[in-house]
Structure 1
Amino acid sequence: MTTTIEDAPAQTRPVSLWRNRAFNLLWVSQCLSDLGTAMSNLALPLLVLYLTGSAAQAGLVGTAGLLVTLVCRLPAGVLADRFDRRRLMIVCDAVRIVGYAALAGAVLAGVANLAMILTLAVLGAVANAVFSTAEHAAVRNLVPAVQLSTAVARNEARAYGTQLGGPPLGGLLFGLGRSLPFLGNALSYLLSLVAVLFIREPMQQPREQAPQSGGAAVAEGVRFVLANPFLRALVLIAAPLNMAFTGMIFAITVSLERVGTSAFLVGLATTIFGLGGFLGAFAAPWVQRWLRLPTLVVVLCWATAGLIAVSSLFATSVLAAVPLAAAVFLGPTANAVLFGYQAAITPDRLQGRVVSVIFLAATSAAALAPGLAGLLLTRFSGTTTMLVFAALVAVSAVAATVSTGIRSMRTEP
């Protein structure tokens, strides 16, 4: 299959992304949405623990949200390609505003219960999946093709920033008042909705074909990914990388706790991981200028495999976080290059479905990582467990090295 870039926005000298009003509004909207999601991911289990005292029931809420997100990935892609993406995002924000405001009221009234919290976790997961898929699919229509990788890098910085700031903010608000995180969530989604309302530019191209049934639409997206050499390689690269990073963080945390490391230092290691990705997102545009796209992807994958292997040598020390943070530092550049190129070569009518297929593969692998790490740690040392994840990244590196889809990447549209 020949890779082409279809109907990408073209400008001889595109304005800076910092002056692109539509993209900045979309970026702010997703930033607020991500912040609310990060806060709720911490606050909902805390509320369950407060109400029931059961860690198992608190875990049930988190697991339900994760499973629902995975189940909704492919349908979300169909919705993002079939309906107006701006309206989808508005509906998602409205659902979350009502849900979290209602939960805050229930907490204040003393009537909140597990069923209510679980229902909100499920509804929130559905809205998050649809909103994020629509947002990713919309970027291509708001940003010139030559700036897509830079736009993805900006989005990576947003994701890491909200993950660093959201949980502490949620915990702080929960400590001040148990309803406050949910009021804060509702406010973040309200501001997100307002930002989307101010976007005047269309987020999708006109649809010329009649809508397909849900199953046929999903099948078309899957076929498109499997038929395209670059997109096949992207799945083979993204899934092991996501599994390895998630598994490494879990393995380092458990290894540190086994040797009696203080909770503060364990938390510091986690912060170092996130900070590495946050800084890497800002550095991504400069890193991309050093090497041709295919070479850049291959070098990043092999460097990540090597850094994870180095991290395994310090399995019982906080120092393990340093080489892993260096590997995470490279992640945003890889995502910017790969997903920016994906957005450029995928027809707009398939953007949502292609993104959802790739996200499903990557997030499913990441979801399995803690379980795999746990099984390995019960039989082997932390060093051996981490080397297994280094080997997984080596699979990505091999795929990048031999893939015709990666070698055919072009710098210019």
Structure 2
Amino acid sequence: MTRPPLAEDAAGTPVTGRPPSLWRNRDFTLLWSGQCLSDLGGSMADLALPLLVLQQSGSPARAGLVGTVGLATTMVCRLPAGVLADRFDRRRLMIACDAFRIAAYALLTCAVLAGAAGLPVILAVVAGSAAATALFSTAEHAAVRNLVRPDQIATAVARNEARAYGTSLAGPPLGGLLFGVGRALPFLGNTLSFLLSLAAVVCVRRPLQQLREPKAQGAGASAGQGVRFVLGHPFLRTLLLIAAPLNMAFTGMIFAMTLSLRDSGVPPFLVGLAGTIFALGGFLGAFAAPALQRRLRLPTLITLLCWTTAALMAVSTLLTTGVLAAVPLAAAVFLGPTANASLFGHQAAVTPDHLQGRVVSVVLLAAGSAAALAPALAGALLARWPAGTAMLVFPLLVTVAAVAATCSRGIRTASA
């Protein structure tokens, strides 16, 4: 197993000396800032869309359909997005995705103002935007190694984690506030956020991929090449075994905790506070990730985090009737960004540039599919057993990831 040498950048140009701060990396900071705004707008819209459907129809089932359609579209588009991100110019793909999302949400804003935003219109916007977002995020993830030095990849991933948690904290309250002022405002804000994202991508100077010869390989064969590379690489194969149960466990625990608190008579405000505590744990953890990475080698870090997360989740199952249950779970979420930064940073380092999009799509598809199943699993478990007993399934899933991290040769031999 090899990774790009610390003495060369993604294009093979020698680099020496201590790396400058990522804040001084113009291109990475431009892309990161644009996506901060884009993610914020997306978080606002994600809250406002089901509220709009609920207000129009009075049907929680129809409101839930919005989220289901978006998630299903994202999962279906993951592998094709990886093929496209490796086959075509990533910058042009990202610009096209932003242009499409600008048009979609501008039309939705106009439809809401005109009173013509029926369920079919909303679902069409959600599905189209989810497909564009799946392609954009895959291309962006694949492009990171071309914007930063190899020894800064993990730090860049950690910064992206901070972005995601930060916008998940700020977006929903802002979206609710804007929706209360005017139903079209969250969607107008999302339109503007995509416009600023588009401007940021256009202003990035460096190429987002290495030069390579075009190939006539079919889409199916191209996607299969990415799958074979992942399954044939010891580290990436283990990454699947770690990422899938971890994502399912976190999603399932948070969903089950929310249902359990509400079922125990906890007021909705406090249930919402628990969700804020979860997100805050991840937000703070993203800032701590670089320091933890500097002090611990990757194998030690991943095994420690997995076992610690399993223990913290087990503690949460003992506190299922009060908001205090969110505290150990938030501590587990605090460790998540460090694990993601280390694992996905190393993934970017060991994967050739021409396979980045496909490898990313395979890993995200596995992790995302597992997370998508978690709410249904949590609901079925809570319907059959008491909350504390039902939720033990999720720390057990993390234990599976911990065993994989402990025993895997791919993790043990990975360099920090």
Q: Same fold (TM over 0.5)?
A: yes
Pair 1:153 & 2:152 matched? no
**Identical amino acids, percent of aligned pairs:** 69
Alpha-carbon displacement from aligned partner over 1:188-234 (angstroms, at most 9, x marks no partner) = 00000001110010000011251421101100000000000000110
Pair 1:259 & 2:258 matched? no
Asked if 2 retains the 8 angstrom alpha-carbon contact of 1:27 and 1:155, the reply is yes
Amino acid at match of 2:242: I
Asked if 1 retains the 8 angstrom alpha-carbon contact of 2:302 and 2:339, the reply is yes
Summarize the alignment of residues 130-145 of structure 1 with structure 2, pairs less than 5 Å apart.
Answer: 130-145=135-150
SS in 1 for 2:392: helix
Alpha-carbon displacement from aligned partner over 1:147-167 (angstroms, at most 9, x marks no partner) = 000000000000001111111
Pair 1:269 & 2:268 matched? no
Aligned-pair CA distance for 1:8: 4.2
Pair 1:12 & 2:16 matched? yes
Structure 2 residue aligned with 1:109, among 105, 109, 114? 114
Cα RMSD, aligned residues only: 1.1
Summarize the alignment of residues 186-335 of structure 1 with structure 2, pairs less than 5 Å apart.
Answer: 186-335=191-340
Alpha-carbon displacement from aligned partner over 1:73-124 (angstroms, at most 9, x marks no partner) = 0000011101111111111111111111111111111222111111001101
Name the TM-score, length of structure 1 as normaliser: 0.97
Aligned-pair CA distance for 1:48: 1.1
Find the aligned partners of 1:4 and 1:200 in 2 and give their Cα distance.
25
Structure 1 residue aligned with 2:103, among 72, 79, 98? 98
SS in 2 for 1:289: helix
Pair 1:346 & 2:351 matched? yes
SS in 2 for 1:210: coil
Find the aligned partners of 1:118 and 1:126 in 2 and give their Cα distance.
12
Amino acid at match of 1:95: F
Find the aligned partners of 1:290 and 1:17 in 2 and give their Cα distance.
19
Find the aligned partners of 1:305 and 1:233 in 2 and give their Cα distance.
18
Aligned-pair CA distance for 1:280: 0.1
Aligned-pair CA distance for 1:37: 1.6
Give the corresponding residue for 1:60: 65
Name the TM-score, length of structure 2 as normaliser: 0.97
Provide structure 2 residue ranges, at least 5 long, that are not aligned to the other structure.
Answer: none
Find the aligned partners of 2:376 and 2:115 in 1 and give their Cα distance.
36
Task: Give the paired residue count.
Answer: 410
Structure 1 segments, 4+ long, off by >6 Å, are none
Asked if 2 retains the 8 angstrom alpha-carbon contact of 1:8 and 1:344, the reply is no
Asked if 1 retains the 8 angstrom alpha-carbon contact of 2:3 and 2:350, the reply is yes
Amino acid at match of 2:227: V
Find the aligned partners of 1:41 and 1:244 in 2 and give their Cα distance.
22
Amino acid at match of 1:305: A
Give the corresponding residue for 2:2: 3
Find the aligned partners of 1:314 and 1:392 in 2 and give their Cα distance.
19
Give the corresponding residue for 1:372: 377
Asked if 2 retains the 8 angstrom alpha-carbon contact of 1:82 and 1:211, the reply is no
Find the aligned partners of 1:33 and 1:344 in 2 and give their Cα distance.
26
Alpha-carbon displacement from aligned partner over 1:131-160 (angstroms, at most 9, x marks no partner) = 100100000000100000000000000000
Comparing 11-20 and 186-195, the one that deviates more: 11-20
SS in 2 for 1:111: coil
